[in-house]
Chains A and B, each alone.
Chain A
């Protein structure tokens, strides 16, 4: 489903050039569930930004659904983010002024979908994450775990093929983290949505099928998780 070929990302910091990603080659298939791990500064955030079409590689190619994203302009990338990718952030990133329905429906606004359909679909997705009772609440009126579920609902609303989650449980306690991870597993199992998540907690990474380790801008390890191997047997 997505393929990175010789992807390099460099930043200029004054006179020195900083290599955030060095010659990354990676293929992710549909239905994959990948955890990205690595120490800070290892390039995992840069990697996620490139996967999410929020940033462009300095060199190399990134194919998403057979399309070479390096050739696309800003509007086409925005459309890809809207239709193919769903984002879940560590800090939830909900709009504080809007109630849950409007937050969840926001991607549909930019997809050009009418108000009525937006509302119906937003309620539907909120229901699937178990929050339909809070539809008209503002984000600061619900708990962190609930906010992250709203964020996941927002990521799901445009029926994406790929969900990118950047430390989705970083701000949550263990119990809520588990709930969120269960939700991801369900999406992967039942909806066949490809999931890529960044984490530095091994027990969170253990929920995934495949583990990729980043060190110094390179992939140091890439393999199936024990839990997934066990389930295959």
Chain B
């Protein structure tokens, strides 16, 4: 019986191919859009998650200077208020795992005939722990390198590739601002940061070397920012308060004076970014599902036309013994078939489109099984929902009226 009815639905659909195709197109576009959009959403989310993971966990950044100072907004880092001993004092706090002072700058690097201009940062070995950033080859520098301000460097992956190509850089000597530095190691690749920078395009040297030799002696003892890792996410709020109290004390600030530093909770910021992308991908899917709804209305439209056109046929069927539920099922099945076939094509179009977008645009796409399953279920529901009204209209036709219809 059900097979017979499927055949019936199929023959009704193929009786008017162009119209069936156009009706299906609504579902195809709807389902395709939902899958494409949720793939883009999922891809963006995955990328953000990856960037957050690459940042390190439970992270603070303490910047020199306040965002506003005496009513005048000055860029943080524009003043030299953070010192080396601030970092070591922060590290002593109970909720803090490690603190790494950083002095960033840019410099020209030379190895034989290769040239590379990049960010060179002075820091301590704690930095590699805080950022969870091990070396891939060789090693990172040690505390004794920091104490004696040796001319050694650790290269990011991008720098190593650009300066050395396939050569192993460990043990080689490069020139930074014309002074020779021995390469101790190459860091494992991190990929892009949240704001899209290449995190591997960087060189690390001991902070003392940066302060006294690389960027001139005016930076002695001064740091631009401190990267701080808390022991866990739950202690971060308390640790932030403690750091603030400690730094105000160390900087001998009066109670009514503003902070001359800024503490940022990077993990909280990252979580916000993750939430934002999640909301964005939900919104994309929601917008796409509107087209699914429009597709459903298209099905209802055509089914209503089809019921009117086939009034006489319905009359004949009722006259020779079709029950109301037979007629209802026949038209419902037809609507369902259109939406399911449209959905299957839509899934293919969506997956193809997602691969296309991934291949031709710098957007990462992740096709999720759930988006396919959900759009399939939604399409089925749309078919039943929008097919029901026309089907009921057909089933409720009076046989004499229907037979008389020309």
Contact = CB atoms under 8 A, between A and B. Distances in A.
A97 interface: yes
Interface centre among A52, A74, A79, A98 (most CB of B within 10 A): A74
B18 interface: no
A49 B315 CA distance: 13
Given A93-B316, A115-B4, A82 B399 contact: no
A156 to B, nearest CB: 12
A83 interface: yes
A93 B312 contact: yes
B72 interface: no
A97 B15 contact: yes
B211 to A, nearest CB: 89
A82 B323 CA distance: 10
A106 B319 CA distance: 11
A3 interface: no
Nearest to A164: B319
Interface residues of A, number: 26
B1 A106 contact: no
Contacts of A5: none
A43 interface: no
Nearest to B318: A78
Nearest to B316: A93
Contacts of B313: 95
Contact of B324 (A55, A75, A98): A75
A110 B326 contact: yes
A75 B323 contact: yes
A75 B328 CA distance: 13
Contact of B321 (A93, A98, A110): A110
B317 A106 contact: yes
A78 B315 CA distance: 12
A209 interface: no
A82 B321 contact: yes
B323 A74 contact: yes
Contacts of B322: 78, 110
B243 to A, nearest CB: 79
A50 B313 CA distance: 20
Nearest to A154: B320
Which of B11, B320, B326 is packed against the most chain A CB atoms within 10 Å?
B320
B282 interface: no
B400 interface: yes
Nearest to B402: A54
B403 interface: yes
Interface residues of B, number: 23
A112 B321 contact: no
A49 B400 contact: yes
B319 A52 contact: yes
A75 B321 CA distance: 9
B1 A87 contact: no
B403 to A, nearest CB: 7
Contacts of B1: 109, 112
Interface string B297-320: 000000000000000110111111
A184 to B, nearest CB: 18
Interface in B254-313: 312-313
Interface string A63-98: 000000000001100110111000101000101011
A110 B312 contact: no
A106 B400 contact: no
A79 B403 CA distance: 18
A111 interface: yes
A138 to B, nearest CB: 12
Contact of A78 (B4, B321, B400): B321
Interface string A110-124: 111001000000000
A107 B320 contact: yes
A107 B320 CA distance: 6
A98 B15 CA distance: 11
A95 B330 CA distance: 15
B319 A81 contact: yes
Contact of A79 (B312, B321, B400): B321
A110 B320 contact: yes
Contact of A109 (B4, B15, B312, B325): B4
A117 B315 CA distance: 25
B387 to A, nearest CB: 20
A18 to B, nearest CB: 15
A106 B323 CA distance: 13
B399 A110 contact: no
Contacts of A111: 321
Nearest to B315: A93
A81 B11 CA distance: 26
A74 B321 CA distance: 10
Contacts of B400: 49, 54-55
Contacts of B12: 97
Interface in B1-34: 1, 3-4, 11-12, 15
A106 B326 CA distance: 12
A87 B320 CA distance: 7
Interface string A48-66: 0100101100000000000
22 contacts: A49-B400, A52-B319, A54-B318, A54-B319, A55-B399, A55-B400, A74-B324, A79-B321, A79-B323, A81-B319, A87-B319, A93-B315, A93-B316, A93-B319, A95-B313, A95-B316, A109-B1, A110-B321, A110-B322, A111-B321, A112-B1, A158-B321
Interface of A: 49, 52, 54-55, 74-75, 78-79, 81-83, 87, 89, 93, 95, 97-98, 106-107, 109-112, 115, 154, 158
Closest 5 CB pairs of A and B: A82-B321, A110-B321, A107-B320, A54-B399, A78-B323
